C-alpha cells in the first residue's frame, strides 16, 4: 500500500480542502444541516453540522476508510491478530486485546486468541468479585489508594471521577502517581491507614515511580505498626517481579497485550472502580464499552460513530492543517477525562514512522488538550473565538445531570443553562459575527462537533471511553502507524537513570561525577 | 510604530530563524552552554541553554524589546496609566493595576493612580485581617466554598493547591465554578454547612454561573435551617448588584482595573487563601509577587527573567512557527497551575487585532497546555519526543520538597528522582538520539527552558505567579495587542441567553420557539 500522502483518496481530499465550505457564508449553517448531519448508536448521538465538510467530503472520507482497510484492521485487532509491530525492525510484536477485557456479554468473539484472553480476564473478574465480597463482610476498608502512573492512573482516575455520583457511600479512592514525594505526603496525611487498601499497579513490575511510591507507602504502614501484607494488592503481569504472594493480600493479572492507556477496563481500573462502584455498576461500565466494541465492527461505515469522528479528525488535521484538538466535556464530572484522552491519543498516535519503519511525511496525532465547559468559556475561549491558531473542538454533553439535585433560577435549571451554553458555543464558533468594531468581530468558521447522550452513568461512561479508544485506533489504522507502542518515552528514562546515579554518588559522599554524564552535572551543580 | 511584522528587528529575526542552531549538532549542547545560558533573580533561576538560540539571537531579541518599548510600557502599567484600550474604538479604556494589589512593602509606587489603588487594596486587606481574627476567636469555620468562575476560580485554586502544605490544619477550601448542577451537588454532599463559609466572587455581580451557584448554595443553607447571611461573603465591585450588606456577612471590594485572570493577589484570591494559610503566609505570597513586580522594572533587560521568557516564547512562536507551549511543573502541588496559565495567557493574548484595531498578520498567543511531570512522561511525552508537531516546553522545578517527608529507595530520595527526570527530559528533548532502528530514533532539537527555585513556599508561589503574569504582559506589549480585555467571550454568552430563553419557554409550556433562534432549536429538538 502507498504511504498516506500518496493514497488516491488523500490526493482527492487535498483538492477538496482547497474548497472546504465556509460555515459563515449565508445559507450554509442551517437548522436542516444540523439535523441531517448527525448519526447515532448505543445511546450516543454525534452532531457534525458545524464541521467544515460537505456530503462530497464525507463520501471521500469514507472512501479513505475503505482504501486504508480500517474495518479489516479493526476486526483483526479484536480477533487478537498481532497488530502491534513495526515491519522489519525489533518491536513489541503482539496483539492489542483491550476489547477482550469486556467481552463478557452477548455475541462474544470466537477467534482463539480473543476467546482465551476473555476467559483469562473473566477469571480475574471472578477473583475480584470474591475478594470484594470478603472485605464487604468484614467492612474492613473505606479507602483505597491506587499507586500507578500513566495508564495506571489517568484512565482509572478519569472514570472514577466521571461516575463518582454512582459510588457506594463511604468508599473513597485516592490516586498516587507522581514520584514527587509531596504527592504521597499529602495523600497519606488524609487517610486512616487501618481502613485503607493500597493497590499497586505496574504491568512490568518495574516502573520506577510506582515502586518508589510503593516503598513510600509500605514505610507508612510499618511506622503505624501495621502489616502491609494485610493491606496491599498487586495488579501486574504474571511472573513479574511484583507477582509475589508473600508481599500482597491478593494479586490480579494483566497481560502484555493490554497497553497501559487502553487498560481502564482491565484489572488496572477494575480493582479501584469495582471497590468504589460495586460489582454490578462496574459491569455496567464494561457493558457500555463492549457495546461500542461491537458497533465498530458493523459493516455499515455510516453508522460507525468512532470511525466518523476519526475521519473528521483527520480532515481537520491533515487537510485543514490544524495542529491541536480540544476536548471539552460540558460536565464537571469529566474534569480529568481530557487528561486521559491526552495520553490515549498522543501516546498512541504521536509517532514519526509508519508501520514499515519509514519516517512519515504527513502529520500524525494532534496535540490534545481541554477542560470542562462552562469553565473553559471563562478561560481560554477568548483564543478559541478570536485567536490566530484555529482549534477544532470536540464537545461532550448530557441531557440530564447525575445527581438530579438542581434548582430553577430565573426560569431555567442549571442543567438547562449548561446545555444552552454548550449549544451556543457550537453555533457561535461556526457562525461568527460581523461587526464594525474589529474587537467585536468574530471570524467564525471554526470547526467543532458534539457527542450527546442521555446521562453520564456507568454504561455511558464505558461507551464514551470505548468511543475514544476506537477513534484513536481508527486514526492510527488510516495513517498506518503503530498506535500500541511508545518507544518515545525510553530516552528520557535512560538519561534520568544516569542522573539518578550521579545523585546516588553524591549521597555516598563521592562528590559530583561529572564524567559519567556532563550535561546532567551542569544542572546538578545548581542544587548546592 | 509599524506593525509587528514590519519592525526592523523582526525582519532581522526572520533572517536569523532560517539559521537557527540545531541543538543535536556535535559541540552545540555542552555543559558550558547550560551553565552560561542562565540568569537569576528573586530566588528564581531561568535556564535556557536548551532553546534554539545563539548570543546573536538573544541580542536581536533584546533589540526587539527595545524597539517595542516594553520597559516604558511596563512602567506605565505599574503606574496606573490607561493601557487597556483599542485606539479609535469603544473599549474598556482603563488601567491594569494588579501590581498595586501587593505593593505593600518597600519602595512603593508613588504615582497617584497606583498609590490610590494600593491604599484601597490595603484597606480591604485590613478588613480581611479583622474578619479572620473574629472568626478565629469563635473557631466557627473549618471549610470555605469559593463560588466563582474563570479568574475567580483558576488562579485562586492553583495557588491554594500549590501551597496546601503550608495551610493551617483543619482549614479546607472547595471551589465551585461550573453551572453544571453536579459540581455543586458533589461539593455540598461533602461539607458541614454549619462550619462552612461561602465566598461569592464576581466583579460585575452579574456572572450567570456564579449567581446561579450562589442561589444553589443559599437553598442548601435554607433547607438546613441556617441563615445564609451568617455564612456568605461577597467579593465584588463597589456598587455592583452584589454589594449588599443585607445579604452578606461581609463584603470585600475589587475594582475594574483588576482583570479576572490577574486577580489572584486581590481579594478574589485573598479571602480564601488567607483563610487557609493565615494572614502571615498570605502576606509572604504577596511579597513574592511584589518582588517580581519590582524586578521587571529594572533598567537592565538582561536580568529580567519574565522578559527573557517572553522573548524566547516569541522566538518559538513567531520565528520558529510553533503553535503551542506546554508548561510542565515537576511538582504535583502545581497540578492546576497550567490551567491557570492557560487562562492567563490565552485570554490575554489570544487576540486577532492590534491596539489600533487592525487585524494582525502574525501569530499572537499560543495554545497553552500542560500537566505535572513526572506524570506527563507516562502520558503525552511520546508525542513530545517523536510526534510531528514540535512543542516548546517550559519546565518548572524545585530543589526541595514541601513536606520534607521523603524516603531513600535504591540509593536516592524521591525528590532526587524527580529532579533527575526533570533534568534528563530537558537534555533528551534537545539532544535526541541516533539509532538504526527508526523507532528508537529521536530527532531532538526540541526547545525547552527551565525555571528552577529552592522550594515551593508561599513567597515562591507569589514570585512564580507574577513571573508568568509579566511574561504574558510583555508578549502583549511586543505584539502591541491589548492583553487586558476579552471581547471574544461575548458572542457565546449572547447566543446562550437566546437558548436559555427557549428553555424557559418550554418550561412555561409554550412549546419550542424555533423562530427566535432556529439553530438553537435544531439542537433543542434532540432533548425530547
Is B55 within 8 Å of chain A by CB? Answer: no
- Which 8-state DSSP code applies to residue B97? -
* Nearest residue of B to residue A27, measured between CA atoms: B519
Closest chain B CA to residue A492:
B425
- pLDDT given at position A3: 86
Closest residue in B to A384 (Cα) is B350
Alpha-carbon span A214 to A200, nearest angstrom: 7
Q: Is some CB atom of chain B closer than 8 A to the CB atom of A386?
A: yes
pLDDT the model gives residue A138: 83
**Among candidate residues B401, B342, B413, B400, the one with its CA nearest the CA of residue B371:** B342
Pairwise CA distance, residues A113 & A96, whole Å: 11
Residue of chain A whose alpha carbon sits nearest to that of B374: A178
Alpha helices of B102-194 — where are they, by DSSP H?
112-138, 154-162, 181-188
| Mean pLDDT score of chain B | 97
For B464-509, the pLDDT digits (tens) are 999 999 999 999 999 999 999 999 999 999 999 999 999 999 999 9
Among B488, B505, B510, pick the best mutation site for testing chain A contact (most A Cβ within 10 A).
Answer: B488
Minimal-distance CA residue of chain A relative to B443: A352
Q: Which residues contact A357 (CB under 8 A, 6 or more apart)?
A: A86, A87, A88, A89, B437, B438, B439
Output the pLDDT for position B130.
97
Q: Chain A contacts of B185, Cβ < 8 Å?
A: 165, 401-403, 405-406
* CA-based nearest distance B340→chain A, Å: 8
User: What does the pLDDT read at residue B273?
Assistant: 98
pLDDT of residue B261: 98
Residues of A in contact with B215 (CB under 8 A): 407, 409
126-155 of A, contacting B, C-beta below 8 A:
149-151, 153-154
Q: Does the distance separating the beta carbons of A323 and B389 come in below 8 Å?
A: yes
- Name the helix (H) or strand (E) containing B423: helix B414-431
Chain B environment of A411 (Cβ under 8 Å) = 500, 503-504, 507-508
Is a pLDDT exceeding 80 seen at residue A1?
no
For residue B181, give the 3-state DSSP assignment.
helix
How far apart CA A247 and CA B278 sit, in angstroms, is 43
- Report whether A52 contacts A302 (CB < 8 A): no
Closest by Cβ to B402, choosing from A182, A450, A490: A182
Residues 6+ apart with CB under 8 A from B269: B155, B156, B159, B263
Nearest CA in chain B to A153: B375
pLDDT value of residue B432: 98
- Selected catalytic residue, list B378, B404, B515, B526: B378
Q: At a CB cut-off of 8 Å and minimum separation 6, what does B393 contact?
A: B325, B326, B327, B328, B384, B425, B426, B429, B446, B447, B448, B449
Residue A36 forms contact with B (CB below 8 Å): no
B220 touches chain A (CB under 8 A): no
Instruction: Report which DSSP code applies to A90.
Output: -
The residues pairing with A412 across neighbouring beta strands, listed in sequence order, are: A409
Q: Could you tell me the pTM of the whole model?
A: 0.98
Q: In what order do the strands lie in the sheet with A393-398?
A: A38-41, A44-47, A448-453, A393-398, A324-329, A367-369
Interface of B with A in 312-331 (CB under 8 A): 323-324, 330-331
pLDDT digits (tens, 9 = 90+) for A81-104: 999 999 999 999 999 999 999 999
Interfacial B residues in 263-292 facing A (CB < 8 Å): none
Test A186 with B403 for CB contact under 8 angstroms: yes
CA-based R_g, chain A, Å: 24
**In Å, what is the CA distance from B4 to each residue of A442, B75, B332, B355, B487?**
22, 21, 38, 11, 22
SS3 A451: strand
CB A125 within 8 A of CB A270: yes
Among candidate residues B242, B235, B239, B247, the one with its CA nearest the CA of residue B272: B235
Q: What are the pLDDT digits (tens) for B73-105?
A: 999 999 999 999 999 999 999 999 999 999 999
Could you report how far apart the first and last alpha carbons of chain B are, in Å? 57
DSSP state of A129: H
- To the nearest whole Å, the CA of B200 is away from the closest chain A CA by 16
What cell was used for A234?
498487586
d(CA B474, CA B308) in angstroms, rounded, equals 9
CA-based nearest residue in chain A for residue B367: A389
Question: Nearest 5°: phi and psi at A264?
Answer: -60, -30
Q: At what angle do helices B279-295 and B267-277 cross, to 10 degrees?
A: 130
Task: Measure the N-to-C terminal CA separation of chain A; round to a whole number of Å.
Answer: 57
Give the residue on B whose Cα is nearest the Cα of A183: B332
**Rg of chain B in Å (alpha carbons):** 24
Nearest residue in B to A155, CA atom: B379
Which residues are paired to A393 by β-bridges? A326, A448
Residues of chain A with Cβ-Cβ distance to B499 below 8 Å are: 419-420, 423-424
Give the separation between CA A62 and CA A107, rounded to whole angstroms.
27
Closest by CA position to A396, among listed A456, A345, A457: A456
B164 included as an active-site residue:
no
The reply to whether residue A180 touches residue B385, judged by beta carbons under 8 angstroms, is no
Does the structure show a pLDDT above 80 at B1?
A: no
pLDDT bin (cut points 50, 70, 90) of residue B3 is confident
Query: Which of B334, B491, B509, B518 is best to mutate for the A interface (most A CBs within 10 A)?
Result: B491
Rounded Cα distance, A272 and A263, in Å: 13
pLDDT of residue A280: 98
**Rounded to the nearest 10 degrees, how much is the dihedral formed by the CA atoms of A396, A397, A402, A408?**
150
Q: Are the C-beta atoms of A408 and B214 separated by less than 8 Å?
A: no
Q: Does A368 contact B at CB distance below 8 Å?
A: yes
Angle at A373 between CA B354 and CA B329, to 5 degrees: 75
Write down the pLDDT at residue B299. 84
Task: Give whole-number Cα distances, A52 to A328, A434, B218, B448, in Å.
Answer: 19, 19, 44, 34
State whether A521 and B31 contact (CB < 8 Å).
yes
CB contacts of B168 in chain A (<8 Å) are none
Task: Grade residue A518 by pLDDT with cuts at 50, 70 and 90.
Answer: very high
pLDDT tens string B356-402: 999 999 999 999 999 999 999 999 999 999 999 999 999 999 999 99
Judged by CB atoms closer than 8 Å, whether chains meet at A402 and B185 is answered as yes
Enter the DSSP assignment of B119.
H
Q: Could you give the count of Cα atoms lying within 13 Å of A225 in the half-sphere of its Cβ?
A: 0
C-alpha B450/C-alpha B397 separation (Å) is: 7
Convert B356-375 to b/e letters by CB count within 10 Å (16 or more is b): ebeebeebbbbbbbbbbbbb
> Sorting pLDDT into bands at 50, 70 and 90, what band is A296?
very high
* Residue B2 pLDDT: 79
**Cβ–Cβ gap B414/A216 under 8 Å:** yes
Q: What is the mean pLDDT of residues B333-339?
A: 98
Return d(Cα B177, Cα B339) in angstroms, integer.
14
Residue A396: beta bridge partners? A329, A451
Contacts of A393 in chain B (CB under 8 A): none
**Distance, CA of B241 to CA of B218 (rounded, Å):** 17
* Structural contact between residues B245 and B422, judged by C-beta atoms closer than 8 angstroms: no
For cell 502576606, the residue is: B283
Element at B450 (helix H, strand E)? strand B448-453
| Closest by Cβ to A424, choosing from B30, B365, B495 | B495
Has residue B434 got a pLDDT over 80? yes
Contact between residue A203 and residue A258 where contact means Cβ atoms under 8 Å apart: yes
- Residues of A recognised as catalytic: 347, 378, 493
Set of chain B residues whose Cβ sits within 8 Å of the Cβ of A158: none
B497 and chain A in contact, CB less than 8 A: yes
When pLDDT is cut at 50, 70 and 90, the band that residue A528 belongs to is confident
B409·A211 Cβ contact <8 A: yes
- Checking if the pLDDT of A455 tops 90, the result is yes
Beta-carbon separation of B379 and A346 below 8 A = yes
Whether chain B has a CB inside 8 Å of the CB on A104: the answer is no
Distance from CA of A181 to the nearest CA of B (A): 5
CA distances to A85, A94, A485, B366, B391 from A255, in Å: 17, 11, 14, 40, 33
Our CA-based measurement puts residue A288 at a distance from the nearest CA of chain B, in whole angstroms, of 21
Alpha-carbon distance values, B93 to B88, B150, B354 (Å): 11, 22, 15
* E strand spans, A399-483: 408-409, 412-413, 448-453
User: Which ipTM was obtained for this model?
Assistant: 0.97
> Is residue A362 less than 8 Å (CB to CB) from chain B?
yes
CB contact under 8 A, B178 and A418: yes
| Distance from the A271 Cα atom to the nearest Cα atom in chain B, whole angstroms | 21
Nearest-CA distance A257 → chain B (Å): 18
Buried b (16+ CB within 10 A) or exposed e, B480-516: bbbbbbbbbbbbbbebbbbbbbbbbbbeeeeebbeee
Q: Which residues contact A283 (CB under 8 A, 6 or more apart)?
A: A104
Spatial contact of B273 and B280, defined as CB atoms under 8 Å apart: no
How confident is the model over A197-240, as pLDDT tens digits?
A: 999 999 999 999 999 999 999 999 999 999 999 999 999 999 99
Q: Say whether pLDDT at B139 is over 90.
A: no
Beta carbon pairs, A and B, within 8 Å: 518
Amino acid at each position: 500500500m502507498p504511504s498516506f500522502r500518496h493514497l488516491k483518496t488523500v490526493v482527492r481530499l487535498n483538492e477538496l480542502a482547497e474548497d472546504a465550505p465556509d460555515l459563515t457564508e449565508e445559507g450554509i449553517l442551517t437548522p436542516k444541516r444540523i439535523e441531517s448531519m448527525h448519526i447515532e448508536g448505543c445511546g450516543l448521538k454525534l452532531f457534525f453540522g458545524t464541521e467544515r465538510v460537505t456530503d462530497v467530503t464525507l463520501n471521500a472520507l469514507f472512501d479513505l476508510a475503505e482504501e486504508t482497510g480500517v474495518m479489516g484492521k479493526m476486526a483483526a485487532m479484536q480477533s487478537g491478530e498481532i497488530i502491534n509491530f513495526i515491519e522489519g525492525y525489533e518491536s513489541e510484536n503482539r496483539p492489542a486485546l483491550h476489547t477482550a477485557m469486556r467481552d463478557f456479554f452477548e455475541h462474544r468473539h470466537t477467534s482463539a486468541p480473543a476467546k482465551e484472553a476473555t476467559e483469562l480476564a473473566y477469571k480475574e473478574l471472578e477473583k475480584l468479585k470474591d475478594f470484594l465480597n470478603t472485605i464487604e463482610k468484614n467492612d474492613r476498608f473505606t479507602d483505597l489508594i491506587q499507586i500507578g502512573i500513566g495508564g495506571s492512573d489517568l484512565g482509572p482516575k478519569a472514570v472514577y471521577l466521571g461516575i463518582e455520583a454512582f459510588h457506594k457511600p463511604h468508599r473513597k479512592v485516592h490516586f498516587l502517581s507522581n514520584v514527587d514525594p509531596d504527592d504521597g505526603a499529602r495523600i497519606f496525611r488524609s487517610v486512616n491507614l487501618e481502613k485503607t487498601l493500597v493497590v499497586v499497579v505496574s504491568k512490568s513490575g518495574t516502573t520506577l515511580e510506582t515502586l518508589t511510591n510503593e516503598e513510600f507507602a509500605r514505610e507508612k504502614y510499618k511506622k503505624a505498626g501495621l502489616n502491609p501484607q494485610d493491606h496491599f494488592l498487586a495488579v501486574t503481569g504474571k511472573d513479574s517481579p511484583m507477582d509475589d504472594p508473600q508481599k500482597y493480600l491478593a494479586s490480579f493479572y494483566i497481560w502484555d497485550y493490554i497497553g497501559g492507556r487502553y487498560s481502564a477496563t482491565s484489572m488496572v481500573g477494575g480493582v479501584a472502580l469495582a471497590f468504589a462502584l460495586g460489582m454490578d455498576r462496574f459491569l455496567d461500565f464494561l457493558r457500555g464499552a463492549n457495546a461500542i466494541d461491537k458497533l465498530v465492527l458493523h459493516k455499515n461505515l455510516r453508522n460507525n460513530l468512532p470511525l466518523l469522528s476519526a475521519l473528521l479528525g483527520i480532515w481537520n488535521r491533515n487537510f485543514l492543517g490544524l495542529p491541536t484538538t480540544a476536548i471539552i466535556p460540558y460536565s464537571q464530572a469529566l474534569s480529568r477525562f481530557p487528561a486521559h484522552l491526552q495520553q490515549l491519543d498522543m501516546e498512541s498516535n504521536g509517532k514519526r514512522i509508519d508501520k514499515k519503519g519509514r519516517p512519515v511525511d504527513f502529520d500524525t496525532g494532534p496535540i490534545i488538550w481541554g477542560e470542562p465547559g462552562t469553565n473553559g468559556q471563562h478561560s481560554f475561549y477568548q483564543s478559541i473565538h478570536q485567536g490566530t491558531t484555529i482549534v477544532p473542538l470536540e464537545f461532550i454533553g448530557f441531557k440530564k445531570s447525575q445527581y438530579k439535585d438542581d434548582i430553577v433560577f430565573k426560569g431555567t435549571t442549571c442543567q438547562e443553562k449548561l446545555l444552552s451554553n454548550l449549544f451556543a458555543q457550537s453555533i457561535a464558533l461556526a457562525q461568527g459575527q460581523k461587526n464594525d468594531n474589529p474587537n467585536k468581530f468574530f471570524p467564525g468558521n471554526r470547526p467543532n462537533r458534539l457527542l450527546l447522550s442521555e446521562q453520564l452513568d456507568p454504561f455511558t461512561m464505558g461507551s464514551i471511553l470505548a468511543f475514544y479508544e476506537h477513534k484513536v485506533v481508527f486514526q492510527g489504522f488510516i495513517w498506518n502507524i503503530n498506535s500500541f507502542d511508545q518507544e518515545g518515552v525510553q530516552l528520557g528514562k535512560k538519561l534520568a537513570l544516569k542522573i539518578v546515579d550521579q545523585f546516588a554518588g553524591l549521597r555516598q559522599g563521592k562528590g559530583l561525577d561529572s564524567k559519567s554524564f556532563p550535561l546532567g552535572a551542569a544542572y546538578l551543580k545548581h542544587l548546592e
